[in-house]
């Protein structure tokens, strides 16, 4: 990909202001290629959360969606966390609120609450443990077998974790609209069009889609599998942005997107211009009230410290 003169100027400006602010740029795997290129680190929610917790930068520019910046703010309270596009939200995270979770907990007072990181900081504060798609099964397995588990908000990731652990979970009816667009018909079509390909899907996909795929993995798990497998053709069942990173890391392999519908409009809201403006003006800082942050951090630390 060749940069235009305008992109080159923007990237030069970002580098200058990043140095001036002693900033680090974190870019999620679903970001547009230009954002991934200027990021110091790219990865999934778990990997970037760990980077946020470890960085010695003064400023974290989080090119993702709002809950990710909230997570960074909780884990790095002494740093300024900037979200270049404040409207970059997550529909799944909006599908459950703290009052709704409190009501569910009241109906199951003996349950341990595991919340997916794709949730608001207020929901995390009401939870016992937090997880990502990379370590959901491990986090669920860490709960004693005789303790009921509430899993929020993604019913499909929860169902996948339940299958992996043999546990029966109390699931909330949330889901990712982007991954829910991927259907069993997409898998069947991919088998016909690319009979020699490895088909990988994200565990946020429909349960039947996960059962039909060759590999079910987080975005980091997909990247690892793509590097390690001897298969030369891979069908990718997640948001299209991940394919750019896979192609950069594996130029000798061919990647196909499982469904053209699997695009997250919120992840595409960040641009080079917005990153530059964010650094120049320290705009759109994400903060979390101390009482909420303290409670959310307990759940988040379990996620960060997991080996998943």
Angle formed by the axes of helices 241-249 and 219-228, to 10°?
A: 30
User: What predicted TM-score, i.e. pTM, was given to this entire model?
Assistant: 0.93
Which residues sit opposite 25 in a β-bridge?
61
* pLDDT at position 44: 86
Of 48, 90, 6, 72, whose CA–CA distance to 285 is shortest? Answer: 72
Annotated domain spans of the chain: 5-89+267-291, 182-257
CA dist., res. 293 & res. 274, Å (int): 27
Task: Count, in order, helices (H) and strands (E) of the chain.
Answer: 15, 12
Domains 5-89+267-291 and 182-257 share a fold: yes
* pLDDT at position 1: 52
Q: Is the pLDDT of residue 15 over 60?
A: yes
pLDDT tens across 140-159, in order? Answer: 999 999 999 999 999 999 99
Residue 308 — pLDDT band, cuts 50, 70, 90?
low
What superfamily would CATH give domain 5-89+267-291?
A: NadA-like (3.40.50.10800)
How would CATH label the architecture of 182-257? 3-Layer(aba) Sandwich (3.40)
Pair 82, 284: CB distance under 8 Å: yes
Average pLDDT in the 242-258 region? Answer: 97
pLDDT-above-90 percentage for the chain: 91
Of 211, 246, 205, whose CA–CA distance to 229 is shortest? Answer: 246
DSSP 277: H
Cis peptide bond prior to 153, omega within 30° of 0: yes
């Amino acid at each position: 990909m060749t940069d235009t003169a305008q992109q080159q100027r923007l990237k030069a400006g970002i580098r200058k202001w990043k140095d001036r602010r002693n900033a680090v740029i974190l870019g999620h795997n679903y970001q547009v290629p230009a954002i991934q290129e200027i990021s110091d680190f790219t990865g999934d929610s778990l990997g970037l959360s760990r980077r946020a917790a470890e960085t010695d930068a003064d400023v974290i520019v989080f090119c993702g969606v709002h809950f990710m910046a909230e997570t960074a703010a909780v884990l790095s309270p002494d740093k300024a966390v900037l979200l270049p596009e404040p409207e970059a939200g997550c529909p799944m995270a909006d599908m459950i609120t703290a009052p709704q979770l409190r009501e569910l907990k009241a109906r199951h007072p003996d349950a341990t609450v595991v919340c997916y990181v794709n949730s608001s900081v207020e929901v995390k504060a009401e939870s016992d443990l937090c997880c990502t798609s990379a370590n959901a099964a491990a986090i669920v397995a860490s709960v004693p077998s005789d303790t009921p588990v509430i899993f929020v908000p993604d019913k499909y990731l929860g169902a996948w974790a339940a299958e992996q652990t043999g546990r029966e979970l109390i699931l909330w009816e949330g889901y990712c609209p982007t991954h829910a667009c991927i259907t069993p018909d997409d898998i069947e079509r991919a088998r016909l069009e690319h009979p020699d390909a490895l088909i990988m899907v994200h565990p946020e996909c429909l349960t039947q889609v996960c059962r039909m795929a060759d590999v079910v993995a987080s975005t980091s798990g997909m990247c690892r599998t793509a590097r390690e497998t001897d298969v030369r053709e891979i069908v990718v069942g997640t948001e299209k942005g991940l394919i750019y990173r896979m192609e950069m890391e594996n130029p000798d392999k061919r990647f196909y997107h499982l469904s053209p519908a699997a695009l997250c409009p919120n992840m595409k809201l960040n641009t080079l211009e917005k990153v530059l403006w964010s650094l120049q003006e320290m705009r759109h800082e994400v903060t979390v009230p101390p009482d909420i942050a303290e409670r959310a951090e307990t759940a988040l630390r379990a996620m960060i410290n997991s080996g998943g």
